[in-house]
Amino acid sequence: MMALPKAGIIFNDIKPAAARAAAELTEKFQDAGYRVYQTTGWGGILGFPRPDSPVCHTPIDRLAAEGFDEAMPFAIVLGGDGTVLAAARQVAPFDIPLLTINTGHMGFLTEGYLNQIHPAIDTLLAGQYALEDRSMIEVRVFRDERLIWEALALNEAVLHKEPLSGICHFEVAIGRHNIVDIAADGVIVATPTGSTAYALAAGGPVITPDVQVLQLIPICPHSLAARGLVFADTESLVVHPPTNHQHLILSLDGNSGCYIWPGDQVRIRRARYRTRLIRLQPPEFFALLREKLGWGLPHIAKPLSVELP
């Protein structure tokens, strides 16, 4: 007797609409002959360290919930961008494609809205979709050459003081190139997906998702010459924190992950894993920029010549 196919649902359980939708989809998939596995986005949260316990660590490949593995052809994400980021971290080691449904606010990473969910699921079950791959970064912290912390990020890694104010001198090495000194409140290392998140707010460029690069963005640099740097994602990056500060905070995708102490090394590279997004329509990145961020709209709208979103 053949086993039933799997379907996964990852939802934000503090949003009643997402919880209701998860229950409805569970019934829909079961009626279609699937075994359904549910989990919440909390499983992808990295945890919050404390000064007396500076490392809160779960290995990269142990974040997935029970039932989420290589045999699962897809998972549905119900939430906002934060839930999508957490879900990506949970399923990337098993290469599970994600159909993302927005129950939050902006939903920059989501494919559809809650009022479109049933036609979207019908399209998914009919196999009428494409997959879009997004690169991730792998972040590891070493102390005396010993790995003490690791995590995946879809958007970015941020290293900064606590609280976020005051100048630090970061020594940064990219690939085989000479070490550079960056005087700033912090530094951001972002993927193309993360170029429209914190890196954009810090003055970085928008990068289309298919470009195989990373970017290094200083936060409030103390130099007119300090600018963001875009480099090939085949290069790894090592950040040496300043030695004249007690500790720094390393955050990934908006999650506090680890305290960084003088002498630690933060090593970042393109991950061997990826995020796979299910697209029900051909992706149009510029249209998304226009709809979500107002990119390319005139300062004064002219209704006869400009079609507003």
Cα–Cα–Cα angle for 47, 190, 233, rounded to 5 degrees: 120
- Nearest Cα neighbor of 151 from 278, 273, 40 is 273
Cα–Cα–Cα angle for 168, 234, 226, rounded to 5 degrees: 30
Whether residue 127 is annotated as binding a ligand: the answer is no
Q: Which residue out of 13, 31, 52, 81 is catalytically annotated?
A: 81
Whether residue 185 is annotated as binding a ligand: the answer is yes
Q: What pLDDT score does 302 carry?
A: 53
Tell me the one-letter amino acid at 104: G
Question: For 70, phi and psi rounded to 5 degrees?
Answer: -65, -20
Enumerate the β-bridge partners of residue 130. 279
The strands making up 248-252's β-sheet, listed across from edge to edge, are: 229-232, 213-219, 186-190, 156-160, 248-252, 255-260
The SS3 of residue 7 is: strand
Q: What pLDDT score does 300 carry?
A: 57
Report the alpha-carbon distance of residue 63 to residue 59 in Å, rounded. 7
Whether residue 155 is annotated as binding a ligand: the answer is yes
Enumerate the β-bridge partners of residue 140. 150, 267
DSSP state at residue 65: P
- Nearest Cα neighbor of 265 from 175, 144, 125, 138 is 144
Whether residue 12 is annotated as binding a ligand: the answer is no
Whether residue 24 is annotated as binding a ligand: the answer is no
CB 94 within 8 A of CB 274: no
Share of the chain residues as helix, strand and coil, in percent rounded to the nearest 5: 20, 35, 40
- Nearest Cα neighbor of 22 from 33, 32, 7 is 7
Other beta carbons within 10 Å of 108? 18
Q: HSE of 155 in the Cβ direction (CA atoms, 13 Å)?
A: 22
What is the enclosing helix (H) or strand (E) of 61? none
Enumerate residue ranges in the chain where pLDDT < 50: 305, 308-309
Q: HSE of 275 in the Cβ direction (CA atoms, 13 Å)?
A: 30
Other beta carbons within 10 Å of 246? 10
Residues 6 or more apart whose CB falls under 8 angstroms from that of 225 comprise none
The SS3 of residue 295 is: coil
Q: What pLDDT score does 47 carry?
A: 77
CB 290 within 8 A of CB 284: no
Q: What is the pLDDT of residues 206-222, one digit of tens each?
A: 999 999 999 999 999 98
Active-site residue flag, 81: yes
Q: What is the pLDDT of residues 45-92, one digit of tens each?
A: 887 787 777 787 788 988 899 999 999 999 999 999 999 999 999 999
Whether residue 69 is annotated as binding a ligand: the answer is no
- Nearest Cα neighbor of 271 from 61, 55, 73 is 61
